Amino acid sequence: MSITRHLSEFAAETPTSRIPASALRMMQLSFLDWAAVGIAGRDEPVSRITRDMVLDEGGHPRASLIGHDARVPPRAAALSNGTTSHALDYDDTHFAHIGHPSVAVIPAALAVAEDLGADGAALQTAALIGVEASIRIGVWLGRSHYQTGFHQTATAGAFGAGLAAARLMGLDAQGCAMVLGLLATRASGLKSQFGTMGKPFNAGLAAANGVEAASLVARGFVANAEALESAQGFGPTHAGEKISSGLEGIGQEWLFESISHKFHACCHGLHAVLEAGLSLAPLDAGTIARIEVTTHPRWMTVCNQIAPMTGLGAKFSYGTVLAMQVLGHDTAVLDSYSDAVCADPAVQALRARVHVTADDSVAETATRLRVVLHDGTAHEATHDLNAPMTLEARQSKIQTKARSLLGDQRADAIWSLIAAQADAATFAATLK
């Protein structure tokens, strides 16, 4: 059976009763995480520019925008909200395909659900179907797709967004296949945009493309339903490896349950070492002779800036974030990453003692940390972001993060609506 047929039947025919409560709970936690980072990022330049553009375009007001009272057409809302929710790069990640599922799928699902007047259960189920599909397609495309330069959040994410929208619209399996086929000629996004406004815009494009494709098919649009995988289709033309494990256990095993949420406001490649650092007893910077970090080779060119002088650069620097942590800066707080911190002599002195080496036997999600003191004593810790975490522990950490970004009252009110599966319009109203 082709991946198109698998995914189409999965999206259209999976009964809600067969979805594990644990997978749905994880989706609800990602809804809270998505809302918190989206609202916190509403005033970023890329958010304002994209929002202003869709407001200028106008159109029938049917879906809500993060950070604004106005309503716009669903595709426009998905574009703006997807971009805004990835503006801070503080959203969830799935390492099976190195992508950010929620920022591509939730904006598409929410825009369509609000337009259709869907209830919270339908919204959350559709979003879960969509994020699971995007991860599966990402695995099917394989690492070569990412290494060639395609941004999985935008490519695999668009397919997931389209299936989430299609489910809400009530499309059957053939309709879902048509959505995938149409998105094969529409999904796009390049890693060359990293470090620019183009990266969060990639998430917005994925969400908008998903809404667009599902809306067209719902109106009778016909495309090549096999264009995801056929000759000259998306996989073959986008360095896809067509890995069969992308289909294994679909509908029974939910890969989304191994999603990784960010609990530090920096590159996800730094999170494992920061978690390892938290497991050590507090250390006095003056007693530290050397800090040794062993990481997977892929992170050496991503987040190993040696001496950044900007707050943005600090988010991609092992030495800087470890110095910040030892010196008492809260790495979960956005404002901790500043030009002033990078210029602090204490931070500069300590980060110079951080030495990072690559070892391909270390998982991409893991890091080894060794802190050597002047008296020769060594403290060691390891952490893997894929290590099991109970839903209760994850909920506590995400709620703490949401409260730090939004304040206790607003964060708790949003969580209450999500947990109660409030209808899409009621939930969307909290994002303004």
Taking only the tens place, the pLDDT of each residue in 334-343 is 999 999 999 9
Q: Which residues constitute the domain of residue 246?
A: 3-260+390-429
The reported pLDDT for the residue numbered 209 is 98
For residue 13, count other CB atoms closer than 10 A to its CB: 13
Residue 221 CA to residue 203 CA, distance in Å, equals 24
Residue-wise pLDDT tens digits, 226-273: 999 999 999 999 999 999 888 999 999 999 999 999 999 999 999 999
Q: State the pLDDT at residue 100.
A: 96
At 33, list the tokens: 């995480």
Contacts of 386 (CB under 8 A, 6+ apart): 95, 258, 260, 363, 365, 366
For residue 1, pLDDT over 70 is answered with: no
**CB burial readout 337-351, b (16+ within 10 A) else e:** beeebbebeebbebb
Residues 81-122 pLDDT 10s:
999 999 999 999 999 998 999 999 999 999 999 999 999 999
User: Is 120 strand, coil or helix?
Assistant: helix
Under a CB-based contact definition with an 8 Å cutoff, are residues 319 and 286 in contact? no
Indicate whether 298 and 376 sit together in one domain. Answer: yes
pTM over 0.85: yes
CA separation for the pair 133, 212 (Å, rounded): 18
Query: Structurally, how many domains does the chain consist of?
Result: 2
On whether both 422 and 293 belong to a single domain, the answer is: no
CATH number of the domain residue 188 falls in: 1.10.4100.10
Select from 300, 283, 290 the least CA-distant residue to 376.
290
Percent of the chain clearing pLDDT 90 (strictly above): 94
- Same domain? For 285 and 409 the reply is no
Residue with the larger pLDDT of the pair 317 and 196: 317
Torsion of Cα atoms, 228 then 209 then 414 then 200, to 10°: 100
- Beta bridge partners, 250, equal 253
- Residue 312 is predicted with a pLDDT of 84
The tokens describing 41, both together, are: 């990022």
293 and 204 inside one domain: no
Residue of 391, 82, 332 lying closest to 212 (CA atoms): 82
8 and 81 in a single domain? The answer is yes
Provide the b/e sequence for 31-70 (b: ≥16 CB within 10 Å).
Answer: bbbbbbbbbbbbebebbbebbeebeeeeeeebbbbbbbee
Q: For residue 194, what pLDDT band results from cuts at 50, 70 and 90? A: confident
Please indicate, yes or no, whether residues 15 and 103 belong to a single structural domain of this protein.
yes
In this structure, are 246 and 277 located in the same domain?
A: no
Strands (E), 332-421: 354-358, 366-373, 378-384
Q: Is the dihedral of CA 427, 429, 430, 432 positive or negative?
A: positive
114 to 11, 70, 169, 389, 420: CA distances (angstroms)? 19, 14, 12, 32, 17
> Which residues, including other chains, have CB under 8 Å from residue 358's CB and lie 6 or more apart?
294, 295, 296, 297, 299, 300
Question: 293, 369 in Cβ contact below 8 A?
Answer: yes
With a CB cutoff of 8 Å and minimum separation 6, the contacts of 334 are 40, 88, 90, 265, 405
- HSE (CB half, 13 Å, CA atoms) of 402? 25
Residue 370 shares a structural domain with residue 421: no
State mean pLDDT over 420-427: 98
Do 366 and 219 lie in a common domain?
no
What pLDDT is attached to residue 10?
98
Distance CA 45, CA 101 (A): 23
Domain shared by 423 and 378, yes or no: no
Same domain, 250 and 326: no
Q: What is the CATH number of the domain that holds 338?
A: 3.30.1330.120
Summarize pLDDT for 170-180 with one digit per residue, the tens.
999 999 999 99
**349: confidence class by pLDDT, cuts 50, 70, 90:** very high
Q: Are residues 123 and 38 in the same domain?
A: yes
- Mean pLDDT of the chain, nearest integer: 96
pLDDT, tens digit (0-9, with 9 covering 90-100), for 196-218: 899 999 999 999 999 999 999 99
The pLDDT tens digits of the residues spanning 372-423 come to 999 999 999 999 998 989 999 999 999 999 999 999 999 999 999 999 999 9
Give 259-309 pLDDT, tens digit per residue.
999 999 999 999 999 999 999 989 999 999 999 999 999 899 889 999 999
